Amino acid sequence: AQSVSQHNHHVILSEAASLELGCNYSYGGTVNLFWYVQYPGQHLQLLLKYFSGDPLVKGIKGFEAEFIKSKFSFNLRKPSVQWSDTAEYFCAVNEGSNYQLIWGAGTKLIIKP
Amino acid sequence: KAGVTQTPRYLIKTRGQQVTLSCSPISGHRSVSWYQQTPGQGLQFLFEYFSETQRNKGNFPGRFSGRQFSNSRSEMNVSTLELGDSALYLCASSLGPGTGGNNEQFFGPGTRLTVL
């Protein structure tokens, strides 16, 4: 069965630090990849997604992610974090458009002001 | 445009009872998916309904069931509750089935179920 691994369950950074959250998946075929974010007290919302084409995907709020097929990875990055980026981040994968998402366990990000 | 709404927001039940959760999708959305979220586990897919038909089901026991009505509203039922069913139950709606292309899922606030 396909699985998604997010290696860091908790990350604490200071404002202006650079961010990289890891995501690895196990499926070897064609995949669609997603990052979702859940801000405190808010609903889950889509940050960015990859379906095909340029493996470097840009999302909202300055986030980007790079799909590296050979490493089965889809890491999330932001060059300079802000206090408002404090949230829980989820990586998700599907193995085709007709299938539902398989989710990672999430990474709680805390930004110190 | 109103978002996805879920009722109730909080629920406390005892073991052996049953519970029904409700989800109203965004107007015009015909697909509703249900997920169980527990700390450290992420989201686990329960099932997806599209046009009143269950089109996809996750790996949960038969105690978990759902349905969708003609107005796309969906309900989820859990019978014979167990302590391990305590979780946040999330509903997501989308225009069409699946998660491909531009078919983005929009999530509701969830129903927090506590089983004592």
Q: Which of residues 63-102 of A touch B (CB under 8 A)?
A: 90, 92, 94, 96-102
Mean pLDDT of all residues in A25-40: 89
Q: What is the average per-residue pLDDT within B17-36?
A: 96
Q: Do A97 and B45 touch (CB under 8 A)?
A: no
Residues 6+ apart with CB under 8 A from B29: B72, B93, B94, B95, B106
The predicted structure's pLDDT at residue A97: 56
Q: Sketch out chain A's domains with CATH numbers.
A: 4-112 (2.60.40.10)
Within 8 A by CB and 6+ apart from A4, the residues are A23, A24, A25, A26, A91, A92, A93, A102, A103, A104, B42
Q: Which residues of A touch B56 (CB under 8 A)?
A: 98-100
Q: Is B94 in CB contact (< 8 Å) with chain A?
A: no
In angstroms, rounded to a whole number, what is the distance separating the alpha carbons of residues A92 and B8?
27
Report whether B46 contacts B58 (CB < 8 A).
yes
Query: Would you list the DSSP string of chain B?
Result: ----EEE-SEEEE-TT--EEEEEEPPTT--EEEEEEEETTTEEEEEEEEETTEEEEE-S--TTEEEEE-TTS-EEEEE-S--GGG-EEEEEEEESSSSS-TT---EE---EEEEE-
From A97, A103, A105, residue closest to B101, measured CB to CB = A97
Res B1: pLDDT: 64
Instruction: Tell me the pLDDT band of A27, cut-offs 50, 70 and 90.
Output: confident
Q: CA distances (Å), A104 to each of A33, A52, B4, in order?
A: 11, 21, 23
Question: Mean pLDDT in chain A?
Answer: 92
Report yes or no: B6 and B22 within 8 Å, Cβ to Cβ.
yes
- Min Cα separation B80/chain A (Å): 26
pLDDT: is B99 or A42 the higher one?
A: A42
Confidence of residue B106 (pLDDT cuts 50, 70, 90): very high
Residue A96 has a pLDDT of 63
pLDDT digits (tens, 9 = 90+) for B41-100: 789 999 999 999 999 898 899 999 999 999 999 999 999 999 999 999 999 999 988 777
Chain-chain contact of A43 with B107 (C-beta, under 8 angstroms): yes
Where residue A63 falls among pLDDT bands split at 50, 70, 90? very high
Partners of B23 on chain A (C-beta within 8 Å) are none
Binned at pLDDT 50, 70 and 90, residue A76 comes out as very high
